[in-house]
């Protein structure tokens, strides 16, 4: 699975909000500027998280967006599901509409174990973990490489699965 542009932008924005002053709103314009993201695109993404009750928005001079859930309790899998829907977590690697154990594509038996490891990793990693790594100076938010934030043991597991493809 490759992270879509929407997923990357959303993760960056949520990490930005997690690193903002607790309880304060951040203008979308400020986030877009700091992260180097297109404002209209980011605005639409943020509304998806408002509808999912992960962030809230307020209008006006002191308005913007803020997290209403703990960043530590917000998994990357949940972020991916908000952006692409549950369907995105079940899509076929080759793009077929129907791909399951019963109607498997040519890559299904190879991709399925890798996908399961990846989903587990996404469930275990939180926006809070990423925010902490950014705070410690391990990464610049705009250069966030999600694979590098996995614990070494999980990186090794994922790389072994990739090598076996």
Higher pLDDT, 92 or 156: 92
Question: What pLDDT does 139 receive?
Answer: 73
Go through the chain and tell me how many residues it has.
165
Dihedral, CA atoms, 65, 70, 76, 79, nearest 10 degrees? Answer: -40
Question: Whole-model pTM?
Answer: 0.77
Q: Domain count for the chain, please give it.
A: 1
Q: Is the dihedral of CA 155, 88, 140, 62 positive or negative?
A: negative
For residue 20, the 8-state DSSP code is: S
Q: Give 118 or 27, the one with higher predicted confidence.
A: 27
CA–CA separation, 27 and 63 (whole Å): 7
Q: Averaged over 85-112, what is the pLDDT?
A: 72
Is residue 148's pLDDT more than 50? no
Residue appearing with tokens 């709103």: 25
CA distance 156 to 22: 35
Q: How far apart are CA 7 and CA 20, in angstroms?
A: 20
pLDDT tens readout for residues 132-141: 988 888 777 7
Residues of the domain holding 29: 5-163
Q: What are phi and psi of 67, to 5 degrees?
A: -70, 140
- CATH number of the domain bearing residue 132: 1.10.10.10
User: What are the strands, taking DSSP E only, across the chain?
Assistant: 55-58, 64-67
Tens digits of residue pLDDT in 4-56:
789 889 999 999 999 998 888 999 999 999 898 999 999 999 999 999 999 99
């Amino acid at each position: 699975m490759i992270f879509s542009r929407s997923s990357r932008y959303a993760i960056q924005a949520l990490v930005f909000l997690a690193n903002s002053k607790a309880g304060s709103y951040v203008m979308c314009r400020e986030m877009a500027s700091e992260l180097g993201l297109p404002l209209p695109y980011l605005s639409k993404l943020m509304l998806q998280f408002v509808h999912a009750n992960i962030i809230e928005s307020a209008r006006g001079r002191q308005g913007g967006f803020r997290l209403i859930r703990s960043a530590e309790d917000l998994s990357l899998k949940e972020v991916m599901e908000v952006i692409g829907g549950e369907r995105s977590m079940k899509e076929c690697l080759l793009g077929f509409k129907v791909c399951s154990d019963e109607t498997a594509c040519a890559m299904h038996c190879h991709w399925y174990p890798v996908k399961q490891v990846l989903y587990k990793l996404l469930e275990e990693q939180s926006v809070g973990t990423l925010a902490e790594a950014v705070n410690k100076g391990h990464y610049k938010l705009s250069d966030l490489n999600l694979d590098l934030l996995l614990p070494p043991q999980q990186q090794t597991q994922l790389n072994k699965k990739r090598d076996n493809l």
